A and B are shown apart, each in its own frame.
Chain A
Amino acid sequence: MALVSTNISTGLDYRFLNFAATLQVRTTGFQNVFGTSGSIYSITIINITTSGEKGILKLYDTTATVTPGTTVPSHCLPFTYSDGASGGTTTSANSTTYIFPDGLPFANGVGVAVSEDVGGSSGAGYGTPTGAANLGATVTSCVIAYK
């Protein structure tokens, strides 16, 4: 069998999306960010903060408008923060990475939002963004690989 090397610039069929500072607008969800169905293969979230706030990345399998606190997410993925000094789950890491070797399928599309909590039982809202706005301001980067 011959060894085959494929040029990454032509062979790579993943889409990479970096929310960067746009994810700071956490009271508003992001609707159908890839514009198509598919699967997420990795997520890296960098959350550099002095506020000590963890966060929850919420992913919605829908093409519809995402309203944090109302729309029910499909996946809730925690991410940490850099100082690890206070508030919530602590590690010394300043980034959180999720890898899905077989892909995390979205039959419709991908909606994205962040908040402090997953959200409780019915009536308590489903992850209504709570707390100060500094949670959003601390998410410096969120990169998602998708195809």
Chain B
Amino acid sequence: MATSIITLRNPLGTLVFQETALSNTPVQVATTGPQTFFHFELDNTANAAVTYYKFYNKASAAVVGSEQPYVIYAVAASTKTAVFVPSGLTFDTGNSCIATSTQANATTQVAPSTAVGLTILG
């Protein structure tokens, strides 16, 4: 897993979050809020099954299985999906996320066969 958060220089000031190997262990994107995101790159090319990216509106790591996500994207097998949100998607308190092959918010969120990629612009 390699996580990086880069803030571009002014006047852009855009935060670029990148996780090269996201799985079912929560990764913290933002520990404070509000944080607004405008673009998501969801890379599931390494898996032959759908992967669900689940984002939590939390300042700390999500407690997977007992807390509900705020956003869910399903990315088809062996594909990469881009999502633009021109008006911004605001997380009030912070953001953490997981990737899982489990569609429901069941107690156990199964890891995808291969960890997936995630890039966020905020």
Contacts and interface: CB of A to CB of B under 8 A. Distances in A.
A119 B70 contact: no
Interface of A: 61, 72-78, 80, 88-91, 93, 95-102, 104-105, 107, 117-122, 124, 126
Contact of B88 (A91, A102, A117): A91
Given A88-B92, A90-B92, A100-B81, A122 B105 contact: yes
A51 to B, nearest CB: 18
Contacts of A104: 81, 83
B72 A93 contact: no
Interface string B80-93: 11111111111110
Contact of A75 (B34, B74, B85, B104): B74
A98 B106 contact: no
B68 interface: yes
A95 B68 CA distance: 24
A102 B81 CA distance: 7
Contacts of B76: 105, 107
B107 interface: yes
Contacts of A91: 36, 87-88, 90
Given A75-B72, A118-B68, A122-B107, 8 more contacts: A74-B72, A75-B73, A89-B70, A97-B85, A99-B83, A100-B81, A100-B83, A101-B84
Contact of B103 (A72, A89, A97, A99): A72
Contact of A98 (B34, B69, B84): B84
A95 B89 CA distance: 11
List the 9 closest pairs (A to B, CB-CB), nearest first: A99-B84, A76-B72, A120-B68, A74-B74, A122-B106, A93-B87, A72-B104, A118-B68, A89-B90
A58 to B, nearest CB: 9
B83 A121 contact: no
B85 A126 contact: no
